[in-house]
Amino acid sequence: MMSKHRLFAAIGLLVLAAAPAAGQGRDDGSLYSRYVLGELRSFPSSRAQAMGGGGIALWSLNYANYANPAALSRQFLVRASAGMRLDNISTVDALSKDKDLMAGSFSAVQFGLPLISNRLGLGFAFEPYSRVNYKVVTTGDLDVDPSRDATPFTVITQGTGGLQQLRVGVGVNPVAALSVGASVDYLFGITEESKRTTFDSIRLRATNVAASTRMRGFTITGGAIVAIPAGEDRELSVAGTITLPATLHGNYARTLGESLDLDTLGATMTGDIELPVSAGAGASFTSHSRWTFTADVRYEPWTDFTSTLPLTGYAPSAMQDRTRISAGVEYLPAGSSIIEPYHQRIAYRLGFFVDDAYIRPAEGQSITTQAVTAGASLPTLFGGTRLDLNVQVGQRGSASGILVRERFVTISATLNIGERWFVKRRLG
């Protein structure tokens, strides 16, 4: 069994390993992350991620599940997890021009603490809420002197940043069939966009126009799960969650300069960004600790979103309501047994999701993401500790008009550590 010091050391190493990966690939992500707050992300747990990414009604003794804070009530071991992901994206536009992109980033860092085993638990998490990560290169010719040939120019537009969230949650099981929970979520971050123009002439100077928006605010998520016995060693669970609307306070600044030397243009603007409510419902069914099935739906009315700051691509008419549907299955041949052969203690997972984006970059053209998910959870030499390897394969958008079609493969690895703490020693 690992000591507490080794547990935190392992998590720290994973966090440090994820940080450089995010920096190396910061300019190579989804082009659709350019709009408003960027590409929305969530990471309830590595188990749920491989089963479609929902998990609102998904119980687990091996994971702190943030899809629903009520699930924090069913904890037996002190748990910590951290992971990283690698995204490979292939894009093609209406003119059949294609490009391959690659980016790395961290998935989440999560910590779960049982105060009363399987009845009262705490959870802490640091995870992405949205990510801005794109680069667009355009070229053209500029006529500055009728007596000379046109001057070629290049414009490089790129964006980085996004919102992160810190979450502190509690889940309690007041009666046998019901668990409830709530979390306080602090959202914060910065989005940056720069537009650098260079000319193929020494008579014209390169320019770099940049804008940055800093945001911060709080919201609260509440949830409930009802667990219904469905026969011998079988359980049906139904659940729901709601995240209240949030007000993000922001500061916007615009700068202009040559190369990396930038001067502020005008005074810094302050304003508010209003995020909509988010509601979800789900169900799961477990049989003999071997089979687990789960399905979820989430709805967010982004037509209620408003901003007094000039976010990239934002216009009230461009917003649309978001719906995300997912489902998945897990098969663990050994069930709850820990003495079966290694290959039978591996958990195999499969799922899918369909996600309608909250933004329409072009009138009448919605962006839908469709993906298949899969994963394997590998037991380790330390009881309660698993290494999860997941993959997502899917596509978003379409190669028509100003839109592009993106086909992506995401590979992730998450270390989930579990230990017994606060156990009284017995003399024998």
Domain spans of the chain? 4-419
Coil, strand or helix at 305: coil
What the block records as the tokens of 272 is: 């508010």
Closest CA to 278 of 356, 357, 221, 352: 221
In angstroms, rounded to a whole number, what is the distance separating the alpha carbons of residues 310 and 308? Answer: 7
The model's confidence at residue 28, banded by pLDDT at 50, 70 and 90, is: low
Give, as one character, the DSSP assignment of residue 420. Answer: -
How far apart (Å, rounded) are the C-alpha atoms in residues 407 and 396? 7
Pick from 10-24, 55-69, 252-266 the range whose average pLDDT is largest: 55-69
Q: Tokens 């600044």 identify what position? A: 253
pLDDT in tens, 218-256: 999 999 999 999 888 899 999 999 999 999 999 999 887
Residue 10: pLDDT over 80? no
Count the alpha carbons within 13 Å of 184 in the hemisphere toward its beta carbon: 3
CA distances from 88 to 8, 104, 273, 391 (A): 30, 9, 31, 11
Helix (H) or strand (E) holding 20: helix 4-24
Spell out the CATH class of 4-419. Answer: mainly beta
Instruction: Dump pLDDT digits (tens) for 308-344.
Output: 999 988 999 999 999 999 999 999 999 888 888 999 9
C-alpha–C-alpha distance, residues 123 and 109, integer Å: 11
pLDDT number for residue 2? 47
The CA-CA-CA angle for residues 45, 51, 44, to 5°, reads 20
Q: In the numeric block, which tokens belong to residue 351? A: 């799922």
Quick: pLDDT tens for 370-402. 999 999 999 988 878 899 999 999 999 888 777
The pTM assigned to this predicted structure is 0.86
61-102 pLDDT, tens digit per residue, is 778 888 999 999 998 889 899 999 999 998 888 777 778 888
Evaluate whether 85 touches 102 at the Cβ level (below 8 Å). Answer: no
pLDDT for the residue numbered 93 = 80
Quick one: tokens of 271? Answer: 């304003």
Q: What type of residue is 379?
A: P
Q: What was the pLDDT predicted at 17? A: 43
pLDDT, tens digit (0-9, with 9 covering 90-100), for 351-366 = 999 999 999 887 778 8
How distant is the alpha carbon of residue 46 from its chain centre? 11
- Comparing CA positions, the residue from 322, 329, 399 lying closest to residue 355 is 322
Q: Share the mean pLDDT of the chain.
A: 86
d(CA 300, CA 320): 9
Strands (E), 120-264: 120-128, 130-131, 134-142, 151-175, 178-199, 207-229, 234-243, 246-258, 261-264
**Spatial distance between the Cα atoms of 423 and 199, rounded to a whole number of angstroms:** 69
